[in-house]
Structure 1
Amino acid sequence: MKKLIAGVVLGFCLATTAHGAGDPEAGKANATVCAGCHGQGGAQPIQPVYPKLSGVGEDYLFDQLRHIKSGDRQIPEMTGLLDNLSEQDLEDLAAYFNQQQMPIGQANPELVDAGEALYRGGSLAKNIPACAACHSPQGMGNEPAGFPRLSGQHADYVVKQLQAYRNGERSTGAMSQIMIDIATKLSDDEMEAVASYVSGLH
Structure 2
Amino acid sequence: MKTSLIAGILSSAMLTSAGAALASELSTDIGGDAAKGKEKAGQICQACHGLDGNGTPGQPVWPKLAGQHPRYIYKQLQNFKNDERWDEQMSPMAMPLSDEEMRNLAAYYSGLEQSGGTAEEDLIAKGERLYRAGNAETGVPACSGCHGPAGLGSDLAKFPRIAGQFSEYTAQALGYFRDAERANDPNGMMRDVAANLKDDEIEALAAYIEGLGL
Q: What is the TM-score normalised by the length of structure 2?
A: 0.83
2:206 aligned counterpart, secondary structure? helix
Residue pair 2:70, 2:110 contacting (<8 A) in 1 also: yes
- 1:130-169 residue pairs with structure 2 within 5 A? 130-169=142-181
Q: Is residue 18 from structure 1 mapped to residue 24 from structure 2 by the alignment?
A: no
2:200 is the alignment partner of 1:189: yes
Compare relative contact order (CA 8 Å, sep 6+) and give the higher one, 1 or 2.
1
Structure whose alpha-carbon radius of gyration is higher? 2
Query: Which amino acid in structure 1 is aligned with residue 163 of structure 2?
Result: S
Which region of structure 1 is more displaced relative to structure 2, 36-45 or 93-102?
Answer: 36-45
Q: By how many angstroms is 1:78 displaced?
A: 2.2
Structure 1, unaligned stretches of length 5 or more? Answer: 1-14
Instruction: Give 2:39's aligned residue.
Output: 29
Equivalent positions of 1:42-191 (< 5 A) are 42-46=53-57, 47-174=59-186, 177-191=188-202
* Aligned-residue RMSD, C-alpha: 1.5
Q: Deviations over 1:109-164 (max 9, x none)?
A: 00000000011111111222211111111111111100000111000000000010
1 CA distance for matches of 2:26 and 2:88?
Answer: 29
Following the alignment from structure 1 to structure 2, what is the Cα–Cα distance between the partners of residues 29 and 78?
18
AA partner of residue 185 (structure 1): N
Runs (5+) with no aligned partner, structure 2: 1-24
Which 4+ runs in 1 deviate beyond 3 A? none
Q: Percent identity?
A: 37
Q: CA deviation at 1:95?
A: 1.0
Deviations, residues 151-197 of structure 1 (Å, cap 9, x unaligned): 1100000000001001111002525x111001111000000000000
Deviation at 1:40, TM superposition (A): 2.0
Q: Alpha-carbon deviations, 1:40-69, whole Å to 9, x = none?
A: 221123401110011111101100000011
User: Does structure 1 retain, via aligned residues, the 8 Å contact 2:52–2:112?
Assistant: yes
CA apart distance, 1:97: 0.4
Aligned residues: 187
State the SS of the aligned residue for 2:89. helix
Letter in 1 for 2:32: G
Residues 63 and 166 of structure 2 are in contact (CA less than 8 Å); yes or no, is this contact kept in structure 1? yes
